[in-house]
Amino acid sequence: MSTERWNWFKSSYSSGEGGECVEIAALPHTIHIRDSKNPTGPHVTLSPTAWSAFLEGQEK
Residue 2 domain-assigned (yes or no): no
Q: Evaluate whether residue 33 is within a structural domain.
A: yes
pLDDT at 36 (0 to 100): 86
Domain assignment present for 55:
yes
CA atoms within 13 Å, Cβ hemisphere of 25 = 16
Domain tally, the chain: 1
Q: How far is CA 18 from CA 12, 26, 52, in A?
A: 13, 22, 26
Position 50 scores a pLDDT of 95
Q: Nearest CA to 45 among 21, 26, 20?
A: 26
Q: What is the DSSP letter of 41?
A: S
- Give 29-38's long-range contacts (Cβ < 8 A, gap of 24+): 32/3, 32/6, 34/3, 34/8, 36/8, 36/10
pTM of the model: 0.76
At 16-38, the pLDDT tens digits run 666 678 899 999 999 999 998 88
Q: For the chain, what percent of residues have pLDDT higher than 70?
A: 75
Domain that holds residue 34: 9-59
Q: Is the pLDDT of residue 57 over 90?
A: no
